[in-house]
């Protein structure tokens, strides 16, 4: 992956989060505090405002810059979780100029471990991990099978959407939603849906 494609991915994420601010907040408001979309949008709004000033000397410094903005501007748990994900991803790349398919999987894996640690969450807790982990697993399988990036990302997006839908019968075990206990059954996890929406947006942008 060249730096311009990394720019494409992050900018697509930022625009998609802003476009879905109300949708993500509405999902979060069913059993949560309803500020997920708003909080995330405020951070990525700053990312877009500062876009031309973010250090792009290396992919790692670019991702670290995104992390700094998110941690500083996104409130609550979301800032910590998403900021940690970008920070752990940046640490994976070190001084690399180009990103291989193996690097992509490694940065996702490290981001996932960071999210687990910060959020004290695991697969099955009804969080964004329930869409992110299956999507990354699919991405790794597709890369291993020799698929090109476009088809691999599309397959991951499909899995992310299916996995997000599978959070509906789960009981939330983390975050504000966990306070509702069995009342969280029947609702989709906002974070998992956000992951699905982001994978789909990046897939479409990549195809184009």
pTM above 0.85, yes or no: yes
Which residues are CB-neighbours of 77 under 8 A, at least 6 positions away? 119, 175
Q: What is Dmax (Cα atoms) for the chain?
A: 48
Question: How far is it, in rounded angstroms, from Cα 126 to Cα 92?
Answer: 26
- The whole-number pLDDT of residue 76 equals 73
pLDDT 10s digits, 79-120: 889 999 999 999 999 899 989 999 999 999 999 999 999 888
- Three-state DSSP class for residue 57: coil
Question: How far is it, in rounded angstroms, from Cα 66 to Cα 75?
Answer: 15
pLDDT 10s digits, 113-159: 999 998 888 898 889 999 999 999 999 999 999 999 999 999 999 99
Q: When comparing pLDDT for 45 and 74, which is higher? A: 45
The token duo for 49 is 């405002």
- The whole-number pLDDT of residue 104 equals 95
Work out the end-to-end distance of the chain between its first and last CA atoms, rounded to an integer number of angstroms. Answer: 16
Question: How far is it, in rounded angstroms, from Cα 87 to Cα 111?
Answer: 8
Per-residue confidence band for 1, with pLDDT thresholds at 50, 70 and 90: low
CATH superfamily ID and name for 3-207: DhaL domain (1.25.40.340)
Residue corresponding to tokens 């994976």: 92
Look at residues 51, 12, 18 and name the one whose alpha carbon lies nearest to residue 207: 12
Q: How many CB atoms lie within 10 A of CB 100?
A: 11
CB burial string 117-126: b at 16+ within 10 A, e below = ebbebeeebb
Per-residue confidence band for 179, with pLDDT thresholds at 50, 70 and 90: very low
Q: Where are the domains of the chain?
A: 3-207
């Amino acid at each position: 992956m060249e730096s311009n494609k990394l720019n494409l991915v992050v900018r697509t994420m930022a625009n998609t989060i802003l476009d879905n601010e109300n949708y993500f907040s509405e999902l979060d408001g069913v059993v949560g505090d309803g500020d997920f979309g708003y909080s995330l949008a405020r951070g990525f709004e700053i990312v877009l405002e500062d876009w031309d000033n973010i250090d792009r000397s290396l992919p790692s410094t670019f991702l670290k810059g995104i992390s700094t903005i998110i941690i500083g501007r996104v409130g609550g748990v979301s800032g910590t979780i998403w900021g940690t994900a970008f920070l752990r991803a940046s640490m994976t790349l070190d001084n690399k100029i180009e990103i291989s398919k193996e690097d992509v999987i490694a940065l996702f894996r490290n981001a996932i471990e960071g999210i687990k640690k910060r959020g004290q969450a695991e697969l099955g807790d009804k969080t964004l991990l329930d869409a992110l982990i299956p999507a990354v697993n699919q991405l790794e399988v597709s890369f291993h099978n020799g698929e090109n990036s476009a088809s691999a990302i599309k397959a991951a997006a499909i899995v992310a959407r299916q996995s997000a839908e599978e959070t509906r019968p789960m009981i939330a075990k983390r975050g504000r939603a966990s306070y509702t206990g069995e009342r969280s059954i029947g609702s989709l996890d906002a974070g998992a849906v956000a992951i699905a929406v982001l994978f789909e947006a990046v897939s479409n942008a990549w195809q184009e």
